[in-house]
Amino acid sequence: MLPAKTLANSPSDWWRHAVIYQIYPRSFADGNGDGVGDLAGIISRLPAIADLGVDAIWLSPFYRSPQKDAGYDVSDYCDIDPVFGTLAEAETLITTAHDLGLRIIVDLVPNHSSEQHEWFQAALAAGPGSPERARYMFRDGLGENGELPPNNWESVFGGPAWSRITNPDGTPGQWYLHIFDQSQPDFNWENPEIWSLFDGVLRFWLDRGVDGFRVDVAHGLIKEAGLPDRDLSNGPPAPGARSPFWDQDGVHEVYRAWRKILDEYGDDRMMCAEAWVMPLSKMAHYVRSDEMHQAFNFGYLSATWDPAVLRSVIDESLEAFGGVGAPSTWVLSNHDEVRHRSRLATKFASEGKPMGIGPNSEHKPDEELGHWRGRAATALMLGLPGSAYLFQGEELGLPEVIDIPDDRRDDPTFFRTNGERYGRDGCRVPIPWEADKPAFGFNNSGASWLPQPAVFGELARDQQSGVESSTLELYRTLLRLRASQGLGSGDFAWLPDFPEATVAFRNLGIAVIGNLGTAPITLPAGDILASSGPLVDGHLPGDTTAWIKIAN
Ligand code: GLC
């Protein structure tokens, strides 16, 4: 047993090696039984997360919001949505986390607000050219009567990135930019008022004791001057490709300014960029020493189940982030992606990320394969030095939920693409706690904003706790070893002489060996500390990762 964690013995650069557990408040635990998770639910279930052995939690947005994009459409950044609870409960949550030895980071959504934000409502009421409109990206339309959008940009969720407003007198008015849903107007970050707004938001939450921020769409705040058309002559741009609305140099000024604010609060507050910017050497610009502390490693999340691809993305990550003195992060699942257990057990294991999987998708995951691959992938990830992110429910081996009826879906992606992309609901289904309770312990009423499949009963936390072969116990073992052996701040080297199909490295005194092929491989001498699946005649079978104690 490790000594109980307290924040007092957590170093100021805790984030360099932390394992951070993402809580998606809508789906974690529901205290009032309305079918949507809330802060009271989180507070009551937090000891289970501390017990898992993580260092920190990241909470997806709980702010006041019409919930058009599950809370990423914020109408008040300094208040809690009634569906989640109250500001007093948020304060209790922060102290509860700290008392359990968990750091807590919250989501900051600076690229856009909700259309219900008072500033957007004021912008609609005020005319073109007004200071109220200058807080957002309003433009006149093209064409004889302004009937065409100002440029060819498309929303990330499908369809045009511009919507036209109707003037108070009923005539068609200007257009406004929304890189995401129509309900999420983009702020104009050329306007100092937006900088002041977010300076205040940062201080508001830092004053309440949060340890940092996950910064939503960090690469999107600044748009190229003149808002030029996107070049689509070579087909749709690759994810992470630069564009007139992604990765403009000006975004870095914002983070330099925010870094100064964080530093005023001491040297243990951090920011993590959600910046879909490739290659990783460009993503690393977000974590230069005077900007953010971490960036989500989407290169790693996007890697196919291919040893050469994984080896190369690990090298690239250590080099890119290490080159600017930042830790690499590692992540396999989050609230926007098909759960890794399922993703790695479809054709996407070799073809790259899907945009959701649903009842009519051609390729459905092979559940048995996914069970073993998901575990093997996690055991590889948690052996790497740096900081790792987990998404709620992956420690239970939850699969992507595929059979969600169309009329129960919630993700705007599904609706904006007329069902062509299933989107992200399948990873957001409320998680199971106790097999025999209503909604598998998510609440006491049985209500659930997305329907839970029967398999969630078998995978409920109480069914796995104490069961040696369970995925939950595998996560506990790996996290305990990672902490006790100091792997997060470890020392990485590739192990030579392993077959092509393996990803084999040493981190301090532990060899981490993943077999991504089919033929069993011989393991080096040493105690086997953990294995993601059973060995076969002492050999490591395919889709399995082992941790072995070797001489330093
Ligand atoms: C980020 C969030 C995603 C959200 C989008 C718009 O990508 O992770 O869930 O829909 O930003 O805020």
Per residue in 359-402, pLDDT (tens digit) is 999 889 999 999 999 999 999 999 999 999 999 999 999 999 99
Give the predicted TM-score (pTM) of the model. Answer: 0.97
Is residue 2 over pLDDT 90? no
Query: Can you give the pLDDT at residue 168?
Result: 87
Nearest ligand 1 atom to the CA of 69 is 10
CA atoms within 13 A on the CB side of 255: 35
240 or 513: whose pLDDT is higher?
513
Using DSSP, state whether 100 is helix, strand or coil. coil
pLDDT band at residue 419 under the 50/70/90 scheme: very high
Alpha-carbon gap, residue 492 to 522, rounded angstroms: 21
182 falls within a domain: no
The pLDDT of 165-176, averaged and rounded, is 95
Regarding whether 288 and 326 lie in a shared domain, the answer is: yes
Regarding whether 315 and 214 lie in a shared domain, the answer is: yes
| Ligand 1 centroid from CA 179, angstroms | 10
Q: Is 231 left (phi over 0), alpha (psi -120 to 50) or beta?
A: beta
Question: Any idea what the CATH number is for the domain that residue 18 is in?
Answer: 3.20.20.80
Output the residue whose Cα is nearest ligand 1's atom 7: 217
| Ligand 1 centroid from CA 100, angstroms | 29
Query: Can you give the pLDDT at residue 7?
Result: 86
Mutate to test the pocket of ligand 1, among 177, 217, 337, 353 (most ligand atoms within 8 A of CB): 217
Regarding whether 210 and 169 lie in a shared domain, the answer is: no
Nearest ligand 1 atom to the CA of 72 is 12
Q: How many domains does one find in the chain?
A: 3
Regarding whether 292 and 376 lie in a shared domain, the answer is: yes
Regarding whether 306 and 157 lie in a shared domain, the answer is: no
89 falls within a domain: yes
| Ligand 1 centroid from CA 351, angstroms | 23
Which residues, listed in sequence order, are joined to residue 502 by a DSSP beta bridge?
A: 515
| Ligand 1 centroid from CA 217, angstroms | 7
Q: Which of 334, 318, 333, 340 is nearest to 385 (CA)?
A: 318
Regarding whether 537 and 465 lie in a shared domain, the answer is: no
Regarding whether 414 and 354 lie in a shared domain, the answer is: yes
300 falls within a domain: yes
**Cα end-to-end span (Å), the chain:** 23
The pLDDT of 495-516, averaged and rounded, is 97
Q: Cα separations (Å) of 480 from 3, 199, 506?
A: 11, 38, 18
User: What beta strand segments (E) does 11-55 contain?
Assistant: 19-23
| Residue pLDDT, tens place only, 357-370 | 999 998 899 999 99
Query: Can you give the pLDDT at residue 527?
Result: 96
Query: Can you give the pLDDT at residue 351?
Result: 83
Regarding whether 123 and 105 lie in a shared domain, the answer is: no
Residues marked as catalytic: 216, 274
Query: Can you give the pLDDT at residue 347?
Result: 80
Q: Which two tokens stand for residue 405?
A: 């009826």
- What is the overall mean pLDDT for the chain? 96
477 falls within a domain: no
Ligand 1 proximal residues by C-beta, below 6 Å? 69, 72, 109, 180, 216-217, 274, 335-336
Query: Can you give the pLDDT at residue 552?
Result: 61
Q: Which of 319, 314, 365 is nearest to 341 (CA)?
A: 365
| Residue pLDDT, tens place only, 515-541 | 999 999 999 999 999 999 999 999 999
374 Cβ neighbours under 8 A, 6+ residues apart: 339, 340, 341, 342, 344, 345, 394, 397, 471
CB 546 within 8 A of CB 528: yes
Nearest ligand 1 atom to the CA of 276 is 7
Alpha-carbon gap, residue 180 to 366, rounded angstroms: 32
483 falls within a domain: no
Question: Any idea what the CATH number is for the domain that residue 529 is in?
Answer: 2.60.40
Regarding whether 41 and 8 lie in a shared domain, the answer is: yes
Query: Can you give the pLDDT at residue 350?
Result: 84
Output the residue whose Cα is nearest ligand 1's atom 12: 72
Phi, psi of 202 (to 5 degrees): -60, -50
Regarding whether 292 and 164 lie in a shared domain, the answer is: no
- The C-alpha R_g of the chain, in whole angstroms, comes to 23
Output the residue whose Cα is nearest ligand 1's atom 2: 216
Question: Any idea what the CATH number is for the domain that residue 125 is in?
Answer: 3.90.400.10
Regarding whether 124 and 17 lie in a shared domain, the answer is: no
Percentage of the chain beyond pLDDT 90 is 93
CB 162 within 8 A of CB 174: no
Regarding whether 336 and 268 lie in a shared domain, the answer is: yes
543 falls within a domain: yes
Question: Which of 422, 437, 471 represents a domain boundary (last residue)?
Answer: 471
The pLDDT of 53-66, averaged and rounded, is 98
Apex 347 CA angle, 343 and 351, nearest 5: 90
380 Cβ neighbours under 8 A, 6+ residues apart: 310, 503, 512, 514, 545
Question: Which of 150, 177, 204 represents a domain boundary (last residue)?
Answer: 177
**Residue 128: domain span:** 118-177
457 falls within a domain: yes
Mutate to test the pocket of ligand 1, among 77, 336, 410, 424 (most ligand atoms within 8 A of CB): 336
476 falls within a domain: no
| Ligand 1 centroid from CA 515, angstroms | 34
